[in-house]
């Protein structure tokens, strides 16, 4: 684990001695609107692709464009809006990685609104509360990089002036261009999704399979602009690592397994390849992810201890400058929420969860044990996520790994106190994991936003209030979004009504782990093979680190590639290639081109996600009014030209994204 960089930083844009409006009515309304939109978009993306992306910069650009319509607005209002909006987006990541697993194990038949909202709200609140005391330790004292927080601050500086009004023509023009770019990309992403899922003019993916002897070989690529955008955002290195994991699973392990064991009875070609991957190969990915989760904890043991030590120093009365956060001796830019406020919300969060757990297991002692495990794991992994966000950014947080570790730990604890025959065991483990996953996802995002506020001169306690607003908004809207997506596409399981469901890879993984510990059975030899592969990947990555190589092999990314359908990782790596080609000549020389490319990618994700949710609305209306068609736009039951129109659309979007992101001479 690298040492955190310590050095000088420029002073904040707005000095501590100045006071500007931050939490205003227009900022709150805009925050709620953007938080809802971004939460819905990230929910779709996570269920579809198994990964999510940070939306802080698109939120900042949208905020600047809308607030510019008002005569009085300032950089701190913009910062408040992006803080709340990105909180809603981060919460969605925690929800979709775990809660759909309750459907997959049969505990729920539909998403229960109040239970789901409570899990999301409590998890998000814990992520906010547990990272408030870490702000000074990781941002002010340790001065971690927080690359995405710094990038967001630069966007805010470029598009906002100090004080009210007073923007020059160049800043106004850049802000307008950014919003136009975002909207144009969203329209393109939405139009492609409408053609594929709405009109059904083409298939969602191009796939082929062939047989050599008993071995089945597969190739394919999903034709989604959102996946192309994800690869662009995460960059070629990470995208390539995910693809290498997919190539190992689908191009090596899958044909090898078929050659040794033969194809499933009665299945050939694509059906055989998909069946063997679903029933066998993906469990190798589970084993690799288990090792990746444990390795993440081993790597982060020293940073966690450092954070805890700094935390105790801050609140020790004898420590220099250890005044209570919020006390009048502290400058405005260093005032966190008060300990009383933190403790009150903490109690209000834990008590309802204890009652919810008791309703599941019907045992006071087990419910209290579940609450204790949840609280300790949420604090530990919020700290881990915050530190990792400081090093590599919140989009690269090992949320999957820490959630895997949580569910395994919770399952083992529950197995000891409940026994393997307890049918509620897998659901109980998932309920704990859901809260911890939300807390971890929020932890990294919160500290990233507080870093942005530190650089622009925001008031921390006001940001922390708006983080709670973003969490509450995300928790309120996430259940209707999940319900619509489940009705339109299906989640996780292939059914006659939903032959191409949203794969929900993370939730499927968590459900399999919980069921496996409680006796439903996992193919442990395949899980063990995955663990061996995970160890080998770690050794290769350590070798790369010792050589000082730029190309690294993070084990969780490789494991995710094995676990994901190859068609998804193939589309993601294409996005990484577009990013590499666009930045190869003149990387770092044209900040406007880099920002324009990022906004295009974010717009593609948002547009496709919103269109996907919009196409699900007729299904909800048809359940209320039978005269309304569930698929009013469909022209063909089977795409008449197969995947080829989608291939052309995918290539056109890739070329357009490249041209937008390429630096101008």
Domain that holds residue 300: 17-209+279-564+593-636
Residue 251 lies in a domain: no
User: 564's torsion region: left (phi>0), alpha (psi -120 to 50) or beta?
Assistant: beta
* 3 state DSSP class of 630: coil
Residue 598 lies in a domain: yes
User: How many structural domains compose the chain?
Assistant: 1
Q: Which string of DSSP letters, residue by residue, matches 317-382?
A: TTSTT-PPTT-TTS-GGG-PPPHHHHHHHHHHHHHHHHHHHHHHH--HHHHHHHHHHHHHHHHHHH
Residue 215 lies in a domain: no
Measured distance CA(42)–CA(52) in Å, rounded: 6
Residue 574 lies in a domain: no
Q: Which residues are paired to 491 by β-bridges?
A: 502
User: 587's torsion region: left (phi>0), alpha (psi -120 to 50) or beta?
Assistant: beta
Contacts 24+ apart (CB under 8 A), 168-175: 172/68, 174/592, 175/61, 175/64, 175/65, 175/68
Helix 555-563 with 399-418: angle, nearest 10 deg: 80
The pLDDT of residue 58 is: 78
Q: Which residues are paired to 211 by β-bridges?
A: 216
Do residues 448 and 149 lie in contact, with contact meaning Cβ atoms separated by under 8 Å?
yes
Residue 569 lies in a domain: no
Measured distance CA(130)–CA(440) in Å, rounded: 10
Measured distance CA(477)–CA(473) in Å, rounded: 6
Measured distance CA(187)–CA(116) in Å, rounded: 31
Measured distance CA(441)–CA(277) in Å, rounded: 29
Return the DSSP state at 227: H
Task: Give pLDDT < 70 ranges for the chain.
Answer: 1-11, 142, 158-176, 297, 300-329, 391-398, 401, 419-422, 520-521, 584-590, 620, 623-628, 665
Tokens matching residue 184: 């144009």
Tokens matching residue 158: 């470029």
359 burial class (0-12, 13-18, 19+ CB within 10 angstroms)?
exposed
Task: Tell me which H or E stretch contains 509.
Answer: helix 505-515
Residue 556 lies in a domain: yes
Measured distance CA(315)–CA(305) in Å, rounded: 16
Only one residue has tokens 């406007």, namely 592
Do residues 269 and 258 lie in contact, with contact meaning Cβ atoms separated by under 8 Å?
no
Residue 390 lies in a domain: yes
User: 397's torsion region: left (phi>0), alpha (psi -120 to 50) or beta?
Assistant: beta
Give φ, ψ of 100 to 5 degrees. -60, -20
The pLDDT of residue 167 is: 47
Measured distance CA(113)–CA(202) in Å, rounded: 35
Least Cα distance to 133 among 404, 383, 369, 401 occurs for 383
* 3 state DSSP class of 625: coil
* 3 state DSSP class of 6: coil
Do residues 562 and 284 lie in contact, with contact meaning Cβ atoms separated by under 8 Å?
yes
Q: What residues contact 653, with CB distance under 8 A and at least 6 apart?
A: 188, 189, 192, 225, 228, 604
pTM: 0.78
When computed from its CA atoms, the radius of gyration of the chain, rounded to whole angstroms, is 24
CA 311 → CA 127, 322, 383, 407, 524, distances in Å? 16, 11, 11, 27, 41
Residue 227 lies in a domain: no
User: Which is it for strands 215-222 and 205-212: parallel, antiparallel or unpaired?
Assistant: antiparallel
Q: What residues contact 211, with CB distance under 8 A and at least 6 apart?
A: 217, 263, 268, 269
Do residues 422 and 518 lie in contact, with contact meaning Cβ atoms separated by under 8 Å?
yes
Measured distance CA(426)–CA(511) in Å, rounded: 7
């Amino acid at each position: 684990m690298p040492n955190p960089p310590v050095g000088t930083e420029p002073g904040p844009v707005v000095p501590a001695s100045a006071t500007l409006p931050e939490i205003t009515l227009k900022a709150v309304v805009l925050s709620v609107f953007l938080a809802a939109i971004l939460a819905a978009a990230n929910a779709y993306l996570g269920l579809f692709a198994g990964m999510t992306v940070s939306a802080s910069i698109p939120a900042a650009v949208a905020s600047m464009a809308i607030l510019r319509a008002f005569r009085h607005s300032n950089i701190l209002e913009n910062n408040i809006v992006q803080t709340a909006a990105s909180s809603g987006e981060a919460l969605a990541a925690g929800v979709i990685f775990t809660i759909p697993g309750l459907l997959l194990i049969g505990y729920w038949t539909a998403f229960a609104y109040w239970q789901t909202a409570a899990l999301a709200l409590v998890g998000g609140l814990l992520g906010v509360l547990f990272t408030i005391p870490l702000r000074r330790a990781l941002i002010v004292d340790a001065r971690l990089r927080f690359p995405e927080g710094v990038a967001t601050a630069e966007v805010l500086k470029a598009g906002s002036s100090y004080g009210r009004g007073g923007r020059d023509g160049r800043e106004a023009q850049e802000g307008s261009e950014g919003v136009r770019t975002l909207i144009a990309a969203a329209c393109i992403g939405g139009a492609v999704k409408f053609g594929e899922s709405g009109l059904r003019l083409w298939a969602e993916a191009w796939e082929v399979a062939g047989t050599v002897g008993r071995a089945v070989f597969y190739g394919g690529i999903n034709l989604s602009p959102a996946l192309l955008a994800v690869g662009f955002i995460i960059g070629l290195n990470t995208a390539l690592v995910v693809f290498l994991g997919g190539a190992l699973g689908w191009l090596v392990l899958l044909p090898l397994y078929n050659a040794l064991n033969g194809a499933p009875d009665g299945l050939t070609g694509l059906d055989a390849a998909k069946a063997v991957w679903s029933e066998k190969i993906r469990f190798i990915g589970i084993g690799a992810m288990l090792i990746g989760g444990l390795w993440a904890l081993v790597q982060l043991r020293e940073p966690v201890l450092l954070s805890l030590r700094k935390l105790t120093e801050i609140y020790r009365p004898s420590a220099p400058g250890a005044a209570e956060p919020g006390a009048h001796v502290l400058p405005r830019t260093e005032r966190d929420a008060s300990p009383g406020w933190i403790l009150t919300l903490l109690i209000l969060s834990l008590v309802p969860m204890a009652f919810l757990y008791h309703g599941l297991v019907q045992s006071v002692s087990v419910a209290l044990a579940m609450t204790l495990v949840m609280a300790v794991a949420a604090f530990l992994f919020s700290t881990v996520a915050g530190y990792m966000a400081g090093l590599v950014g919140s989009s690269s947080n090992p949320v999957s790994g820490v959630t895997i570790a949580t569910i395994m730990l919770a399952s083992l604890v529950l197995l000891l106190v409940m026994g393997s025959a307890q049918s509620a065991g897998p659901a109980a483990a998932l309920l704990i994991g859901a809260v911890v996953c939300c807390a971890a996802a929020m932890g990294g995002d919160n500290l990233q936003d507080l870093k942005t506020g530190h650089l622009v001169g925001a008031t921390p306690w006001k940001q922390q209030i708006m983080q709670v607003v973003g969490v509450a908004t995300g928790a309120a809207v996430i259940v209707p979004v999940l319900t619509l997506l489940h009705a339109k596409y299906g989640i996780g399981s292939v059914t006659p009504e939903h032959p191409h469901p949203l794969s929900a890879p993370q939730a499927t993984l968590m459900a399999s782990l919980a069921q496996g510990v409680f006796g439903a059975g996992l193919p442990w030899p395949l899980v063990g093979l995955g663990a061996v592969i995970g160890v080998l990947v770690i050794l290769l990555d350590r070798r790369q680190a010792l050589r000082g190589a730029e190309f690294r092999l993070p084990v969780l990314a490789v494991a995710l590639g094995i676990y994901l359908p190859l068609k998804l990782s193939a589309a993601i790596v294409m996005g990484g290639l577009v990013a590499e080609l666009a930045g190869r000549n003149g990387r770092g020389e044209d900040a406007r081109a880099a920002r324009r490319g990022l906004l295009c990618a974010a717009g593609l994700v948002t547009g496709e996600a919103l269109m996907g949710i919009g196409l699900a609305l007729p299904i909800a209306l048809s359940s209320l009014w039978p005269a309304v068609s569930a698929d009013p736009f469909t022209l063909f039951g089977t795409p008449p030209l197969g995947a080829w129109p989608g291939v052309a659309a995918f290539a056109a979007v890739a070329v357009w994204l490249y041209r937008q992101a390429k630096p101008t001479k």
